[in-house]
Amino acid sequence: MPSKSFVVETIKRNQIIEALSKGKRLDGRGLGELRKLEIKTHVIEKANGSAMVSLGNTQVLAGVKIDKGIPFPDTPNKGLLIVGAEVLPMAAAYLEAGPPDESAIELARVVDRGVRESEMIDVASLCIKEGKWVYSVFCDVNILNVDGNLFDATSYAVVSALLTAKMPKFVLENDVVKDTGERVPLPVHKIPISVTIANINNTLVLDPTEEEEAVMDARITLDTDDGGNLCAGQKGEPGSFTPEQIITAAEWSIARGREIRQKIKEAAGHG
């Protein structure tokens, strides 16, 4: 998330753009290449699920808490799935503690939609008693170190944490919700994978670092599902894309999405 106080040296900006004109990036990656992705699950044993993800130097930690809750009035028989994200002030020098700013809110909402609208979790099967009790699944993400592409890193952490979460099995006994003590996995329908592409001087690059984000004109995040369909999208930053660039971005997202999904499944032990 480029911040007003993060100024990139002009020399560096020129180096980035010059390298791009030759199809290269400063860290040696190809335009469509992802940084090193590391995923560790079950890191917070007290939580129902958790995942620590590092994408290059960007590091995030997601935790899942599952309990009983009251359904929304318009969806009396659907479980609750709420995804939140907080960029911790320790994650970068220019951040200060305080309520989330518009970038942080956008991050949380985009990741939330990516998981919810893709119907990753079958919330219809998370009902305990219609209109009264449902399962409520909270996934909270703490960003620990910022180096670009918080969208994808956060999304991979959320997906990995949900995939490996252990849900309590509740039953109704005389209208009272009881925890049977059994632990089961969440009902996962599909695995959405988020891929973010930046437009720097009309060249598309995948998984931008913080430096690249500081010189980018626009970014687009596209989520794909197991069937290679697009299921969520968000364009951001005050620049633009041509329609052709957006199609290219979609193609990259589908191709990289497949590889990343495989990696996440392996890390979750579902490989």
Partner 1 sequence: MVEITRKQVIPGDVIVTGDYRPGMFVQRRGNDMVALRIGLAEIIRNDVKVIPLSGAYIPRTEDMVVGKVVNVTGYGWEADINSCFVGYLPGQFVFGRDFSPSTHDLTTRFTVGDLLLAKIEAFDRTRDPQLSIRGPGLGKIPQGEIVKITPMKVPRLIGRKGYMINMIAELTSCEIKVGQNGVIVVDGTPEGVQKAVRAIQLIEQEAHMADLTTKVQQLLGAPIGAPPTEAAGPENSGEQ
Partner 2 sequence: MTEEKRKLMDENGIRTDGRRWDELRPLKMEVGVVRNADGSALIEWGKNKIIAAVYGPKEMHPKHLELADRAFLKCRYHMAPFSVDERKNPAPSRREIEISKVIREALQPALFLEDYPRTAIQVYVEVLQSDGGSRVAGITASALALADAGINMRDLVVGCAVGKVDGKIVLDLNDTEDKEGSGDLPYAFMPNLNQVTLLQMDGLFTLDEFKQALDLAKVGGMKVYKLQREALLKRYFSGGGPETSTSTTEMMEEA
Residue 138's binding partner among partner 1, partner 2, none (Cβ under 5 to 8 angstroms by kind) is partner 2
- CA–CA gap between residue 252 and residue 249 (Å, rounded): 5
Count Cβ atoms below 10 Å from residue 261 Cβ, excluding itself.
19
**Considering beta carbons, is residue 86 or 119 the nearer one to partner 2?**
86
Question: Smallest gap, in angstroms, from Cβ of residue 140 to partner 2?
Answer: 4
Half-sphere exposure of 105 (CA within 13 A, CB side): 5
**Residue 109: its H or E element:** helix 102-116
Q: Which of 1, 3, 9, 44 binds partner 1 (CB under 8 A)?
A: 9
Residue 13's binding partner among partner 1, partner 2, none (Cβ under 5 to 8 angstroms by kind) is partner 1
Instruction: Please state the φ and ψ torsions of residue 97, each to the nearest 5 degrees.
Output: -65, 150
Alpha-carbon distance values, 210 to 57, 92, 122, 146, 147 (Å): 10, 11, 35, 7, 5
Q: Are 115 and 29 in contact (CB under 8 A)?
A: no
**Considering beta carbons, is residue 62 or 110 the nearer one to partner 2?**
62
Q: Which of 45, 74, 102, 173 binds partner 2 (CB under 8 A)?
A: 45
**# of chain residues touching partner 2 (CB under 8 A):** 30
70 is a contact residue toward partner 2 (CB under 8 A): no
Structure tokens belonging to residue 150:
């918080």
8 is a contact residue toward partner 1 (CB under 8 A): yes
Classify each residue of 43-78 as buried b or exposed e, where b means 16 or more C-beta atoms within 10 Å of its C-beta: ebeebbbbbbbbbbebbbbbbbbbebbebeeeeeeb
104 is a contact residue toward partner 2 (CB under 8 A): no
Tell which positions 13-42 bind partner 1, by CB under 8 A.
13-14
- Contact stretch for partner 1 (CB under 8 A) within 1-9, 75-83, 122-130, 134-142: 1-9
- CA–CA gap between residue 84 and residue 62 (Å, rounded): 9
11 is a contact residue toward partner 1 (CB under 8 A): yes
133-145/127-129 β-pairing: antiparallel
Phi-psi region of 189 (alpha: psi -120 to 50; beta: other; left: phi over 0): alpha
Q: Which of 1, 2, 12, 230 binds partner 1 (CB under 8 A)?
A: 12
- Contact stretch for partner 1 (CB under 8 A) within 5-13, 55-63, 163-171, 199-207: 5-13
Question: Smallest gap, in angstroms, from Cβ of residue 27 to partner 1?
Answer: 13
Q: Which of 65, 113, 189, 265 binds partner 2 (CB under 8 A)?
A: 65
**Considering beta carbons, is residue 19 or 177 the nearer one to partner 1?**
19
Q: Are 170 and 179 in contact (CB under 8 A)?
A: yes
Residues that bind partner 2 (CB under 8 A): 43-47, 50, 57, 59, 61, 63-65, 67, 84, 86, 88-93, 96-97, 138, 140, 142, 144-147
